[in-house]
Amino acid sequence: MIGKLDDYLRFNETALSLRAQRQEVLASNIANADTPNYKARDIDFASALQNAVAKGGQGGGPLSTTAKAHYPNGAADGKALADGTPVLYRTITQGAVDGNTVEMDTERTQFADNALRYEAGISMINHQIRELMTAIQSGGQ
């Protein structure tokens, strides 16, 4: 019974976990916008979610690259999220003299988009819980 409940909630739980971790990476980019030679990083959310779901929500393995600037099948500076998802360098569109690749407009947009999608994920989980509560309450009558 508990296993079925876990399965029912696992996708949104996994998505929320990845969104929270991505938010930390994006916040780190924004915090280091003035740090010389800091390289902006991000995760490939779609691939990370696909890998996590394929592994039963227990984390993902190395991702394939989506841009030439990404490290092949590896993480930026060997760093990865807690679940093993590599953190990749963002593609440089406009470099800075000090070597910093953070573009504040891009980071703000990605941060806001990710926050909005996180809120949508919370709404989905709330909806699932309400459905379960309705089923439980009507099941005894």
The predicted model scores a pTM of: 0.75
Q: Which residues of the chain have pLDDT under 70?
A: 1, 57-78, 82, 139-141
Q: What is the DSSP string of 71-126?
A: PTTS-GGG-B-TTSPBPEEPPPSS--TTS----HHHHHHHHHHHHHHHHHHHHHHH
The whole-number pLDDT of residue 111 equals 97
With vertex at residue 85, the alpha carbon angle to CA 127 and CA 80, rounded to the nearest 5 degrees, is 125
Beta strands in 23-62 (DSSP E): 41-42
Q: pLDDT digit string (tens) for 96-130?
A: 888 899 999 999 999 999 999 999 999 999 999 99
The whole-number pLDDT of residue 32 equals 95
The whole-number pLDDT of residue 126 equals 94
